[in-house]
A and B are shown apart, each in its own frame.
Chain A
Amino acid sequence: MSDLTDLSIAELRRGLTEKAFSATELAKAYLANMEQARDLNSYVFETPDKALAMAAESDKRIASGEARALEGVPLGIKDLFCTRGVHSQAGSHILDGFEPDYESTVTANLWADGAVMLGKLNMDEFAMGSSNETSYYGPVVNPWRSKGSDVPLVPGGSSGGSATAVAARLCAGATATDTGGSIRQPAAFTGTVGIKPTYGRCSRWGIVAFASSFDQAGPIARDLRDAAILLKSMASADPKDTTSAEIEVPDYEAALGRSVKGLRIGIPKEYRVDGMPAEIEALWEKGKEWLREAGAEIEDITLPHTKYALPAYYIIGPAEASSNLARYDGVRYGLRVPGEDIVAMYENTRAAGFGKEVKRRVMIGTYVLSAGYYDAYYLRAQKVRSLIKRDFDIVFDAGVDAILTPTTPSAAFGVGSKERASPIEMYLNDIFTVTVNMSGLPGISVPAGLTDDGLPLGLQLIAKPFDEEMLLQAAYVIEKAAGQFTPERWW
């Protein structure tokens, strides 16, 4: 593997400005890595010509002293983001051949800052999944493996392609989205940093919608500084997204290294679940210790409605999805399967175009919104959601600065290992992450250690709305103590 791809975004920034290497050399190095890593199935569509053209443009700008914030930095883009003229299919068959004629606001922000696009990254279909096994393009393989084993492991999902690409040095950083944990969980499974910003921090315009009151775009990167750099570019107030917050984007990097002395870190007792592996308990304790040593105050807190977040999410999420996915009907874009009349065309197209998990969720969503069931399910779930958010409001109002929990209830598991299990078993992966989407709060997963088998584990921090700086500030303590984790190359 070329040395250039070992450099972080922060280091690239310096190297490119100092002309130690060119953006073109950098793009070529990443393209070479990508060619050698096809077994990971991380990219669904590579854009080498575009990458080199963008890199050439970046080199011109660097030469004339007009380098922008991310000039020449090669990124991978989750397939959920609409990228003008380029394959954007949300990991689904139903969007076959779709090439949008517009650019998502988030990716437009990145290109405006000079970043280079390497390609589109694999993901669970329509972002529905926690293992990247529901993709039409096949599963992604985690670059991490258990010690002494060559059993392929999942990278987590839905942003499995993004997390894998970052961990395996197939891009300098990646965009991803998080609806129930889809940035944080794969970040935890791959030893990378993932941030789900506050709802409304990043524009959702041009991102294929799954559940509109949960979806948020965010970065996956190798370390906190890189994640901060990417988030600064990605975030913006967008008049095209009504839910986009009109709040200035701060300099996130500046939060790194700020003292945590006197900060109050809450430890929610409800996150200690039955059957939680001892290793994860131990890591959580270590996280508390590191923060305590850095001067923070650790205190027990209660978030009483925690256990209801997952069931409420699996009503509201599918309900919103059933509405959002109604547009895939074979009329205006994507796959069309003929039928004798229009209804048959809709039904055939959607039956052939949607995978099993998507169908499941659209059906549940349709059911809970249907006449006679709306009150019992959807309305009740929305009330429970208010209670979950209130739990957090109470804790933050009492002066807690951030909440520390494990990110996931386990490390990465085998590809196909949950095939015969109930769908619920897969949903339980999100048990620690989904509360954050339910409440619209910002959350981060930072690599904190390895299991005895050598697999990465992450710790999650949750903060007040629009306090992503607090996440970075507190996570920095963990990153400094835990160090960085890189998988051993086997591909």
Chain B
Amino acid sequence: MSVDRDTVKHVARLARIAVSDAEAEALKSELNAILGFVEQLNEVDVSGVEPMTAVISMDMKRRSDIVTDGNQADEIVANAPAGVDHFFVVPKVVE
């Protein structure tokens, strides 16, 4: 399978990365090179094989449902590019 420029632009939209027409051209060739490379996986007989979900088998750890952390609003917003009080400030979201 290969991608065309429209697909590249669509994927860029999904990935929220601005891509110019020129960049889309370059990305198209690179992505197609990678897709060409992974094509060989179609040679493998995967019938009856379960997809891997955990690379090392272990039971999922659980913990008691009690509060062990928090009250760190200052620390959480400390690295914000734009903020007011304990809010992160962004351009308008709702139309």
A contact residues vs B (CB 8 Å cutoff): 97-102, 198-200, 213-214, 239, 242-243, 245-246, 305, 307-308, 311-312, 314-315, 322, 326, 329-336, 338-348, 350-351, 354, 359-360, 362-364, 366-367, 370, 373, 376-377, 379-387, 389, 422-424, 427, 438-440, 465
Contacts and interface: CB of A to CB of B under 8 A. Distances in A.
Contacts of B72: 101
Contacts of A350: 15-18
A440 B18 contact: no
Contacts of A439: 55
A292 B42 CA distance: 39
A362 B35 CA distance: 14
A332 B82 CA distance: 8
A200 B79 contact: no
Interface in B1-48: 1, 3, 7-8, 11-12, 14-19, 27, 30-31, 33-35, 37-44, 46
B17 A332 contact: no
Interface string B56-95: 1010110100000000100111111110000010111100
B56 A200 contact: yes
B91 A98 contact: no
Contacts of A331: 80-81, 88, 90
A380 B47 CA distance: 10
Q: Which 3 A-B pairs have the closest CB atoms?
A: A382-B51, A440-B55, A336-B81
B40 to A, nearest CB: 6
A344 B91 CA distance: 9
Contacts of B79: 97-101, 332-334
B75 A386 contact: no
A198 B8 CA distance: 37
B81 A363 contact: no
B46 A363 contact: no
A332 B56 contact: no
A355 to B, nearest CB: 12
Nearest to B48: A383
Interface of B, secondary structure class, is loop
A370 B78 CA distance: 34
Given A338-B91, A383-B50, A383-B51, A465 B34 contact: no
B81 A351 contact: no
18 contacts: A101-B75, A305-B44, A314-B34, A314-B38, A322-B15, A332-B80, A345-B90, A348-B18, A350-B17, A351-B17, A360-B34, A363-B17, A363-B27, A380-B41, A387-B46, A423-B33, A440-B55, A465-B56
Contacts of A312: 38, 41
Interface of B: 1, 3, 7-8, 11-12, 14-19, 27, 30-31, 33-35, 37-44, 46, 49-56, 58, 60-61, 63, 72, 75-82, 88, 90-93
A199 B55 contact: yes
A341 B8 contact: no
Given A386-B51, A440-B55, A363 B41 contact: no
Nearest to B55: A440
